[in-house]
């Protein structure tokens, strides 16, 4: 197979299919990705696929990223979540860290640099000579079970006061800490996405040099030519959440359609696929999924095209992307609910893909990044009630 930039991500995911399907159950039991899956992520090149070229990546555009994330989630929800945790974390850190920090983390391209963690500013960093003394607690550090470097968002504090950006907003920073500096408290005993190693962790008065810190809302990369890097971590994260939910929901539509062609319920003479209620529900929810998928693809690639043409990424564009991501997540949840009900008792048996996907999707949709607040913040921008919401 000849791979081009347009299909390379899909080809890399396809290479991983056998190991992911074989070890998904083991990852659930271990509550983190298995060594076999992590090794395959590196051996195929998928782990660094989204990085800037300077960090060994391909710098794919949103169409390729969305498809890659979706196909990872189609195989397994936890594997897909690693795709939207480790891959964009490494890509963003590689793009936005200043040169000294980049060299410290990514200087040896032969090394396997995995990053995960929580970017929300749940810590405080006292400004000191050369950097910050950071203290805080972070929950749900996605992908930290196998990450050498861990990200942690924090508020800088200088002489007891918040630090402000040039635009007058309170500054929010993301620090990149080596695993050895982190105290893990685990806490990852959950309903779904069990295999993601999303551990809780703490820092206590830990020094981080300024060159391993970047602004959480940075959209001026030090490296990376793709317009995606000029759209910032918020846009990349939103795209990841949308594609992940769509991928898991797509797997449930696929699996329930195959089941329906073979399954006959007690008292019925024909398979489930011949029932009018199933046919109606399947067509309706397939249409819902396709509409949400196209909305995400159109919204994100349109914004990317504008940025590529030299235009500013406006608050309206950012609001549109967040609306699309949140709507796609909600639509995917409805699809999953229907598929789970339609599958009957098959969907409640432990070990089936339908059972695991249902738990994964309902866990992933609890994430604050695609909560109701995104609709409220977006609506205020789209209605002209505020000029901007920087968290979009």
| CATH number reported for the structural domain that contains residue 78 in this entry | 1.10.540.10
The answer to the question of residue 387 being in a domain is no
The answer to the question of residue 185 being in a domain is yes
| Residue 28 sits in the same domain as residue 152 | no
Q: Which two tokens stand for residue 172?
A: 């929010």
User: How many CA atoms, within 13 angstroms, populate the side-chain half-sphere of residue 337?
Assistant: 11
Q: For the chain, how many structural domains are there in total?
A: 3
Domain boundary among 188, 215, 242: 215
Other CB atoms within a 10 A radius of the CB of residue 147 amount to 25
Angle at 298 between CA 293 and CA 301, to 5 degrees: 120
pLDDT in tens, 315-371: 999 999 999 999 999 999 999 999 999 999 888 988 889 999 999 999 999 998 999
Q: Is residue 3 scored above 50 in pLDDT?
A: no
Rounded distance between C-alpha atoms, residue 271 and residue 313, angstroms: 51
Rounded distance between C-alpha atoms, residue 175 and residue 161, angstroms: 19
Q: What is the 3-state secondary structure (H, E, C) of the chain?
A: CCCCCCCHHHHHHHHHHHHHHHHHHHHHHHCCCCHHHHHHHHHHCHHHCCCCHHHCCCCCCHHHHHHHHHHHHHHCHHHHHHHHHHHHHHHHHHHHCCHHHHHHHHCCCCCCCCEEEEEEEEEEEEEECCEEEEEEEEEEECCHHHCCEEEEEEEEEECCEECECCCCCECCEEEEEEHHHCEEEECCCCCCCHHHCCEEEEEEEEEEEHHHEEECCCCCCCCCCCHHHHCHHHHHHHHHHHHHHHHHHHHHHHHHHHHHHHCCCCCCCCCHHHCHHHHHHHHHHHHHHHHHHHHHHHHHHHHHHHHHCCCCCCHHHHHHHHHHHHHHHHHHHHHHHHHHHHHHHHHHCCCCHHHHHHHHHHHHCCCHHHCHHHHHHHHHHHCCCCCCCCCC
- Strands 213-215 and 183-186, how do they pair? unpaired
pLDDT in tens, 229-261: 999 999 999 999 999 999 999 999 999 999 989
Confidence class for position 110, pLDDT limits 50, 70, 90: confident
Q: Which two tokens stand for residue 302?
A: 């349109």
The answer to the question of residue 168 being in a domain is yes
pTM above 0.85, yes or no: yes
Domain boundary among 167, 191, 215: 215
The answer to the question of residue 323 being in a domain is yes
- In the block, tokens 């309170």 appear at 170
- Strands 149-158 and 115-128, how do they pair? parallel
| Residue 200 sits in the same domain as residue 240 | no
| Residue 243 sits in the same domain as residue 364 | yes
The answer to the question of residue 391 being in a domain is no
User: Residue 378 is part of a domain; what is its CATH number?
Assistant: 1.20.140.10
Q: Is residue 267 scored above 70 in pLDDT?
A: no
The answer to whether residues 281 and 338 touch, using CB atoms and an 8 Å cutoff, is: yes
User: Between residues 111 and 327, which one has the greater pLDDT?
Assistant: 327
| Residue 81 sits in the same domain as residue 135 | no
Phi-psi region of 59 (alpha: psi -120 to 50; beta: other; left: phi over 0): left
| Residue 243 sits in the same domain as residue 363 | yes
Average model confidence (pLDDT) across the chain? 94
The answer to the question of residue 242 being in a domain is yes
Closest CA to 86 of 27, 122, 53, 42: 42
Q: Which two tokens stand for residue 115?
A: 């990053």
| Residue 14 sits in the same domain as residue 51 | yes
The answer to whether residues 271 and 277 touch, using CB atoms and an 8 Å cutoff, is: no
Each residue of 355-388: b (16+ CB within 10 Å) or e?
bbbbbbbbbbbebebbeeebbebbebbeeeeeeb
- In the block, tokens 């006292």 appear at 126
Q: Is residue 5 scored above 50 in pLDDT?
A: no
pLDDT in tens, 69-103: 999 999 999 999 999 999 999 999 999 999 999 99
The answer to whether residues 247 and 80 touch, using CB atoms and an 8 Å cutoff, is: yes
Domain boundary among 49, 77, 100: 100
| Residue 303 sits in the same domain as residue 276 | yes
The answer to the question of residue 23 being in a domain is yes
| Residue 238 sits in the same domain as residue 198 | no
User: Residue 157 is part of a domain; what is its CATH number?
Assistant: 2.40.110.10
Query: What percent of the chain clears pLDDT 70, i.e. is strictly above it?
Result: 98
Each residue of 156-182: b (16+ CB within 10 Å) or e?
bbeeeeebeeeeeeebbbbbbbeeebb
Q: What is the span of the domain harbouring residue 14?
A: 8-100
* pLDDT at residue 268, as a whole number: 73
Rounded distance between C-alpha atoms, residue 41 and residue 36, angstroms: 9
| Residue 294 sits in the same domain as residue 192 | no
Average pLDDT over residues 295-313: 97
- In the block, tokens 């209605």 appear at 383
| Residue 247 sits in the same domain as residue 377 | yes
The answer to the question of residue 392 being in a domain is no
């Amino acid at each position: 197979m000849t791979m081009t930039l347009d299909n390379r991500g899909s080809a890399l995911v396809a290479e991983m299919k056998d190991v992911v399907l074989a070890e998904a159950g083991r990852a659930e039991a271990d509550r983190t990705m298995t060594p076999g899956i992590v090794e395959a992520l590196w051996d195929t090149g998928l782990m660094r696929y989204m990085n800037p070229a300077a960090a060994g990546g391909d710098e794919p555009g949103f169409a390729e990223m969305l498809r890659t994330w979706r196909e990872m989630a189609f195989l397994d929800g936890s594997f897909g979540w690693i795709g939207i945790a480790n891959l964009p974390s490494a890509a963003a850190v590689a793009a936005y860290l200043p040169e000294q920090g980049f060299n410290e983390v990514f200087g040896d391209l032969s090394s396997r640099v995995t990053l995960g963690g929580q970017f929300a500013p749940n810590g405080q960093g006292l400004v000191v000579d050369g950097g910050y003394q950071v203290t805080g607690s972070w929950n749900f550090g996605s992908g930290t079970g196998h990450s050498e470097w861990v990200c942690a968002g924090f508020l800088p504090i200088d002489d007891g006061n918040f630090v402000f950006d040039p635009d007058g907003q309170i500054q929010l920073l993301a620090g990149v800490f080596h695993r050895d500096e982190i105290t893990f408290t685990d806490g990852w005993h959950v309903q779904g996405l069990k295999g993601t190693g999303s551990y809780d962790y703490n820092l206590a008065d830990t020094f981080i040099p300024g060159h391993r810190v970047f602004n959480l809302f940075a959209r001026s990369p030090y490296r990376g030519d793709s317009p995606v890097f000029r759209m910032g971590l918020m846009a990349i994260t939103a795209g990841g959440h949308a594609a992940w939910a769509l991928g898991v929901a797509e797997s449930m539509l696929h699996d329930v359609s195959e089941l329906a062609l073979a399954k006959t319920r007690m008292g019925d003479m024909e398979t489930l696929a011949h029932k009018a209620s199933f046919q109606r529900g399947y067509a309706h929810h397939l249409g819902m999924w396709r509409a949400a998928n196209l909305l995400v693809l159109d919204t994100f690639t349109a914004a990317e095209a504008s940025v590529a043409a030299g235009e500013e990424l406006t608050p309206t564009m950012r609001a549109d992307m967040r609306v699309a991501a949140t709507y796609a997540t909600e639509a995917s949840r409805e699809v999953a609910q229907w598929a789970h009900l339609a599958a009957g008792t098959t969907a409640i048996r432990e070990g089936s893909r339908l059972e695991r996907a249902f738990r994964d999707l309902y866990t992933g949709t609890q994430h604050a990044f695609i909560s109701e607040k995104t609709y409220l913040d977006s609506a205020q921008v789209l209605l002209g009630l505020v000029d901007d919401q920087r968290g979009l």
